[in-house]
Amino acid sequence: MANLEPTKQRRGLVAIDGAMALIAILLIVQIWLLSAPLEAFLAGHSGPVIPAAIFSGLLFFACVTLNAFVARIDRSSKER
Tens of pLDDT, residue by residue over 26-76, are: 999 999 988 988 899 999 988 988 999 899 999 999 999 999 999 998 888
The domain in which residue 27 lies consists of 8-78
Task: Provide mean pLDDT across the span 17-23.
Answer: 92
- Answer yes or no: is 3 within a domain: no
- Answer yes or no: is 2 within a domain: no
Report the number of distinct structural domains present in the chain.
1
- Answer yes or no: is 1 within a domain: no
Closest C-alpha to 70, from 23, 27, 16: 16
HSE, side-chain direction, 13 A CA sphere, residue 23: 15
CA 76 to chain centre: 20
HSE, side-chain direction, 13 A CA sphere, residue 11: 8
Q: pTM of the predicted model, to two decimals? A: 0.75
CB-CB contact of 16 with 73 (8 Å)? yes
What integer pLDDT is reported at residue 76 of this predicted model?
82
pLDDT category, 1, cuts 50, 70, 90? very low
- Answer yes or no: is 40 within a domain: yes
